[in-house]
Structure 1
């Protein structure tokens, strides 16, 4: 069932769950609620200056990657870098182009997007990327 209001619910184990998003999809099973969610928050370093693509319908999209770093948990003192593809559309894209550059530390809020396409050899490819809805500079 679709809900379109803020509310607080309690499940069987007496935990309080805050539901705040409009149009959140809820599934009720034995007095417990499962909330569907697609939210991403990343903080890392920009790998290259964003590239812009302008579409025939006037929409604009930028793409870039950010690197996050973590330490190896096997007792080794080795830093592991993971790269995440980022996209931003229209106003968010235009604003980002005015200040984001390679090496900047930024915080991203957005959602995960999945799409498929055919490559030049006719093979189907699948990709995930984070679509940024908020971008913020972070002091390094």
Structure 2
């Protein structure tokens, strides 16, 4: 039996994306994502996810998205476990995105800034190729192999 680990989430960014660099200098962007879930006719719930986006794709997110902006991410789930300072075992599941689509305009002015610079916010792919896109639904995708 084959295994499949793919997830597609659309929601709003809960904190400004931050970038850090690994020991080898590889950039990785991290942000939180809030996704609405309908529980019944009258009630909704919100699920929160931590998302990591690597390399040029992560740089595009940190340069063009802010807290409150809508975004769609596609990627995989990754389980992590570690020992806390107090000696207890901790674990969590993160989303590692390999495709990102910028949705709408959200509550920041980053969309306008991206257009003014002559480059669409989604023009960087995982491998740095110019993918282009329209101004409203810019998408950054990994190339097909």
TM over 0.5: yes
Instruction: Please list, as runs of the form range in 1=range in 2, the aligned pairs for 1:39-118 lying within 5 A after superposition.
Output: 39-73=6-40, 75=41, 77-118=42-83
> Any runs of at least 4 consecutive aligned residues in structure 1 with deviations exceeding 4 A, and if so which?
none
Provide the rounded CA distance (Å) in 1 between the counterparts of 2:43 and 2:58: 34
SS class of match (1:35)? coil
- 1:134 maps to 2:99: yes
Question: Structure 2: where are the runs of 5+ without partners?
Answer: 107-145
RMSD: 1.5
| CA deviation vs aligned residue, 1:70-116 (integer Å, no higher than 9, x gap) | 2332x5x2221111111111122111111111111111011111111
Greater helix proportion: 2
Name the one with the larger strand percent.
Answer: 1
SS of the residue 1:37 aligns to: coil
TM-score (norm 1): 0.69
Q: Structure 1: which 5+ residue stretches go unaligned? A: 1-33
Q: Which has the larger radius of gyration?
A: 1
> Following the alignment from structure 1 to structure 2, what is the Cα–Cα distance between the partners of residues 113 and 92?
18
Q: How many residues align?
A: 105
1:93 aligned counterpart, secondary structure: helix
Determine helix, strand or coil for the equivalent of 1:98. Answer: helix
